[in-house]
Structure 1
Amino acid sequence: MDAVSETKEPRYAPYANGRFQMAMGLVALDLTDWIDVDDSRAAELCEKERLLAVQHEAVFGDLPGSAPAQREVLMLLLDNLERCHPGLISCDDGMVTVAETGRTYRLAGFADHALDLAGRLVQEDLCLMTPGEEGYVLHAASLCFPARWVLAEKLGRPMMGIHEHVSGYAEKLGRPVDRFFTHLKADKPVARLNWSVVDDPALFQTSGKFRNDGQSVITPENAGDRLWLRVERQTLRRLPDSGDILFTIRTFVDPLSSLAARPDLAAGLRAAIAEMPEGMQRYKSLIPFRAALDGYLGALMERAA
């Protein structure tokens, strides 16, 4: 069994209550807390720059007609960062500079693809949704840290199509989500949390759903170092001018061993996974290491008893 980790505790623990529910789980969002900033900012912005340089088409995409809404997003982000996070960026004479990386960008150079620049200024991924014949569709995205999905496969698709492989989505969430998107007000932004346990700490992941690898090399003894908690803090707000909806995704990855000093969170995670339907466990690729994960969490609880 692992020793107590020096790793800091997870910042968000949506599994803490021990329940797993297919629900939107929305809470009101104060726009002063819209953008999440922590000490990983410099490293994550540099990783975004690397991904955009070596595989731009994999992490950024937009469709015709999205440019005005993209520019609206950029202006809202610049304003929010300057008011709520002073010192992170500086704007002067049509240029914006990021303090942590020292990079300077010319606004005019991103006139037609403003979401590309917007994504370089924040740790969040940014997804722009616009009304379509089958509901809101993904119109543009800066997606450097996908949780096992491919942007090119989702661009231009409605919410139901985007989530077609998510176990239980069509039956339980499809219609409520579509109704929510239709009625979301510009002055009522919201936030929610999503979580999973993964065997790869990489932020950029385009594959890995529905894995069933049989015997895993992960055991109750090494699970603390071989598994990671991946939590997404997501926000949704309607853009006041274009009427489109901006969906942001801020990703946090912590080693499972970060629960070593929190047996209460270990108990919550264990109970939530026990409640998770098998179809969702398969979708999240928990099956190969499900027994090892349960054994590790159970040991943490026993040690604290």
Structure 2
Amino acid sequence: MTVGRRPWEDGADFAIGLRPVAPEAWLEGGEADPAARKDPLFAAARDLVWAETPGSREGQAEVLALVEDALGPGQRRGDLPPLYAAARRTPDDLCLMQKLDGQWRLTALSLSAGTFFTAAEVVGRSLGELHGPVEGFSERFLVRVQRIFEGLRPGLVLERRNWTIVNSAELHTPRSAPIRARIGEIAPTDAGQALQIRVERQTLRRLPETGGAVFTIRVHLAPLASVAEEPERLAAFALAWRDATPAFRAYKGFVLYDGLVEAFLREHGA
């Protein structure tokens, strides 16, 4: 996979950063058979990758209809929850948000490429609870994010990207501890290949029939070495890494990788 755009150029602090994209660009594609990756996880580790709340099936079915509109009809399996039937058609993870008792809550999700969290840990949570680990989220962003959800109109697709550094080339990373425990095994000269830039492309759109919203997450991975392919790309990454705010660095775990990343940047003259 390739990173494509440079999300670190948008800043090195938390930001909402949503932009409208054309509805036909909602799902990027690029994976020949997502079900071949997702189905084994769904069968063997369901609590990690799937969760739903009672009463969410109608909204799930609307997400499936949107995915079929975008990708064409697929062979439906009646034994599958509708949201998972939709998720196995696309590389993206799919999250259903519904407004319950005045709060937007995550009521169902298929999470085959979660970044250090599991489906069982987050299902049922409100927007504020989902972003609790982000320092200052409630004060800085919660009201704005709630307004975005309230103001979504049918047909509008919003997109954002965020990024981090990890020492794993796996898409399915439900736990951080076993990955970060291996950081000490990496030689500084190997940092360019051992470390990965993990980029999440996220989208948000309204479900016009049920009133909910679908949030998608598509993960792209590329070796850190890829930023050295272009001087401008390397310079932008170096600036973002070094100028990241303390809260952003703490949340992303950057301090764990500082020595390796700085060794890589010095090696390439950044």
Mapped to 2, the partners of 1:145 and 1:41 lie a distance apart of: 16
Q: Which one of the candidate residues 187, 209, 230 is aligned to 2:155?
A: 187
Please list the CA deviations of residues 183-229 of structure 1 after superposition, one character each: whole Å capped at 9, or x if unmatched: 211232211111111111211112228x9879834343111011000
Find out whether 1:241 has 2:204 as its counterpart: no
Corresponding pairs, count? 269
More helix by share: 2
Q: Which one of the candidate residues 272, 287, 290 is aligned to 2:255?
A: 287
> In structure 1, what is the equivalent of residue 164 of structure 2?
196
Q: Which moved more, 1:151-160 or 1:213-222?
A: 213-222
Unaligned ranges ≥5, structure 2: none
Please list the CA deviations of residues 51-71 of structure 1 after superposition, one character each: whole Å capped at 9, or x if unmatched: 111112321111111111111
SS at match of 1:260: helix
SS at match of 2:70: helix
Find out whether 1:162 has 2:130 as its counterpart: yes
Mapped to 2, the partners of 1:41 and 1:12 lie a distance apart of: 22
SS at match of 1:109: coil
> In structure 2, what is the equivalent of residue 231 of structure 1?
199
Mapped to 2, the partners of 1:296 and 1:257 lie a distance apart of: 8
Query: Could you tell me which amino acid in structure 1 is paired with residue 79 of structure 2?
Result: G
SS at match of 1:121: coil
> In structure 1, what is the equivalent of residue 176 of structure 2?
208
> In structure 1, what is the equivalent of residue 42 of structure 2?
52
> In structure 2, what is the equivalent of residue 264 of structure 1?
232
Find out whether 1:24 has 2:16 as its counterpart: yes
**Contact kept? 1:198, 1:227, Cα under 8 Å:** yes
**Contact kept? 2:115, 2:172, Cα under 8 Å:** yes
> In structure 2, what is the equivalent of residue 10 of structure 1?
3
> In structure 2, what is the equivalent of residue 85 of structure 1?
none
Q: Which one of the candidate residues 59, 65, 82 is aligned to 2:55?
A: 65
Unaligned ranges ≥5, structure 1: 1-7, 83-90, 98-104
RMSD, matched Cα: 2.2
Find out whether 1:109 has 2:99 as its counterpart: no
Mapped to 2, the partners of 1:9 and 1:58 lie a distance apart of: 26
Runs of 4+ in 1 over 4 A off after TM superposition: 211-215
SS at match of 2:248: helix
> In structure 2, what is the equivalent of residue 41 of structure 1?
32
> In structure 2, what is the equivalent of residue 86 of structure 1?
none
Q: Which moved more, 1:271-280 or 1:24-33?
A: 271-280
Normalised TM-score (structure 2) = 0.91
| Identical positions, percent | 30
User: How far is 1:265 from its partner?
Assistant: 1.4
**Contact kept? 2:20, 2:156, Cα under 8 Å:** yes
Q: Which moved more, 1:230-239 or 1:54-63?
A: 54-63
Mapped to 2, the partners of 1:45 and 1:263 lie a distance apart of: 38
Mapped to 2, the partners of 1:172 and 1:77 lie a distance apart of: 33
Mapped to 2, the partners of 1:175 and 1:219 lie a distance apart of: 44
Find out whether 1:78 has 2:64 as its counterpart: no
User: How far is 1:153 from its partner?
Assistant: 1.4
Mapped to 2, the partners of 1:158 and 1:240 lie a distance apart of: 20
Q: Which has the larger radius of gyration?
A: 1
> In structure 1, what is the equivalent of residue 88 of structure 2?
120
User: How far is 1:135 from its partner?
Assistant: 2.4
SS at match of 2:197: strand
Please list the CA deviations of residues 80-120 of structure 1 after superposition, one character each: whole Å capped at 9, or x if unmatched: 112xxxxxxxx4xxxx34xxxxxxx43x333xx20011111
Normalised TM-score (structure 1) = 0.82
> In structure 2, what is the equivalent of residue 299 of structure 1?
267
